[in-house]
Amino acid sequence: MKSHHTGLNLIIDKTMFKNVFGSGFLVRTAHVILTWVVTLILFLHDTELRKQEETGQLVQPVLFVLLVLVSVLLYFAVSLMDPGFILSDNSDKQFTLGVTEEQQNMIPHTTKSLRQRRCGHCLLQQPMRSKHCQTCQHCVRRYDHHCPWIENCVGERNHRWFVLYLVVQLIVLLWGLHIALTGFSYASTWELWLRSNGMLFVVGVLVALLSLIVLLLLGSHLYLVSLNTTTWEFMSRHRISYLKHCGADENPFDRGTFHNLWGFFCNWGTVVWEQVYFREVSDQV
């Protein structure tokens, strides 16, 4: 038993080491450097942020810097957090406890194979809604997608934090875009204008593009969360064994918008999705 726990600890340590010092290290470093360089440029140019700082009105400058810091901390939290890696076959026990034999007998024939679903890569029992990530080399509970921006999977344990990070990041970007727009100075010709505003113009365009991307990403995630579906399930439902027999508008995990949002943001425990799924099947039968 002791050697089993030691093995799991080694796997977790290796995973954390890979997350910190692997290929994601460059991505995270670039993200942090870009964030603070943009923030510095907003302070160096003649924006309202700099004017407030020079006149001693420090409330907004301090709040902006603190919000940027919070966004960076959330980024690292989501990036380094365990998204729900499956490291053992304990999911078998959860499955057995979550679904009764009577419920299993009521499952349509097309879904009976789900009871013995094993990953073809790591050979572990896969709880429902999990998927093996080729990049992370682990199965992830309630897998949503692998995000190259954070160089980590988005899954059961960090999905809500990922959405929170997007909200904070969007606020920072929109605020930064507003600050950038207040710093442009007038010039008689385009050449003079570009000389005095070129760097701020580049920052403004970059922040505007990132704002649009984050807005679309946040909107799509909130929409999918309200339906209690994941990006992977939404994009690949025709290939997923427990969904491909469902109708186009049928989602066995949908419990209504309010309950879906409440469960996503307020339920911190592990959900046995087999139980939810089979209860819906039983109700239909």
Mind listing the pLDDT tens digit for each residue in 28-86? 999 999 999 999 999 998 889 888 888 888 999 999 999 999 999 999 999 999 999 99
Domain boundaries, the chain: 2-284
pLDDT, position 121: 83
Query: pLDDT band for position 229 (50/70/90)?
Result: very high
- The arithmetic mean of pLDDT across residues 257-282, rounded, is 83
The pLDDT confidence band at residue 10, using thresholds 50, 70 and 90, is: low
138 beta partners: 133
Percent with pLDDT over 70 in the chain: 80
pLDDT value of position 95: 45
Three-state secondary structure readout of the chain: CHHHHHHHHHHHHHHHHHHHHCCHHHHHHHHHHHHHHHHHHHHHCCCHHHHHHHCCCCHHHHHHHHHHHHHHHHHHHHHHCCCCEECCCCHHHHHHHHCCHHHHHCCCHHHHHHHHCECCCCCCECCCCCEEECCCCEEECCCCEEECCCCEEECCCCHHHHHHHHHHHHHHHHHHHHHHHCCCCCCCCHHHHHHHHHHHHHHHHHHHHHHHHHHHHHHHHHHHHHHCCCHHHHHHHHHCCCCCCCCCCCCCCCCCHHHHHHHHHHCCCCCCHHHHHHHHHHHHC
Q: Which of 66-80, 159-173, 240-254 has the lowest mean pLDDT?
A: 240-254
| pLDDT for the residue 97 | 44
Torsion angle, CA of 9/15/265/144, rounded to 10 degrees? -130
More confident residue, 2 or 226: 226
Q: Encode pLDDT of 101-120 as tens digits.
A: 444 444 444 444 445 578 88
Mean pLDDT of the chain: 83
Catalytic residues: 147
